[in-house]
């Protein structure tokens, strides 16, 4: 079913401009989302690094405590 319809040129141009605007806003939103994902990945890496450092410190503290208890017991 092919039905022809007519649109005034100015309305057509307005519609095209509105669609361009929506497309541009969508691209901007996607760019912001991409940047947020990059920042989240960096944050996750940093938090993982901190967790590793905390584990190392915890191990060192445990070693010091064990060593000092052994010396006190002797």
Examine the pLDDT at 74 and tell me if it is beyond 80.
no
pLDDT computed for residue 73 by the predictor: 67
pTM of the complete model beyond 0.85: no
- 35 or 2: which leads in pLDDT: 35
Residue spans per domain, the chain:
12-74
- 71 or 20: which leads in pLDDT: 20
pLDDT tens-digit series, residues 6-62: 778 999 999 999 999 999 999 999 999 999 999 999 999 999 999 999 999 999 999
Closest C-alpha among 62, 58, 57 to residue 70: 62
């Amino acid at each position: 079913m092919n039905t022809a319809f007519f649109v005034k040129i100015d309305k057509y141009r307005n519609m095209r401009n509105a669609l361009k605007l929506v497309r541009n806003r969508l691209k901007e939103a996607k760019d912001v989302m991409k940047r947020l994902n990059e920042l989240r990945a960096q944050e996750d890496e940093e938090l993982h690094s901190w967790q590793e450092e905390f584990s190392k410190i915890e191990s060192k503290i445990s070693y010091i405590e064990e060593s000092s208890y052994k010396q006190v017991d002797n």
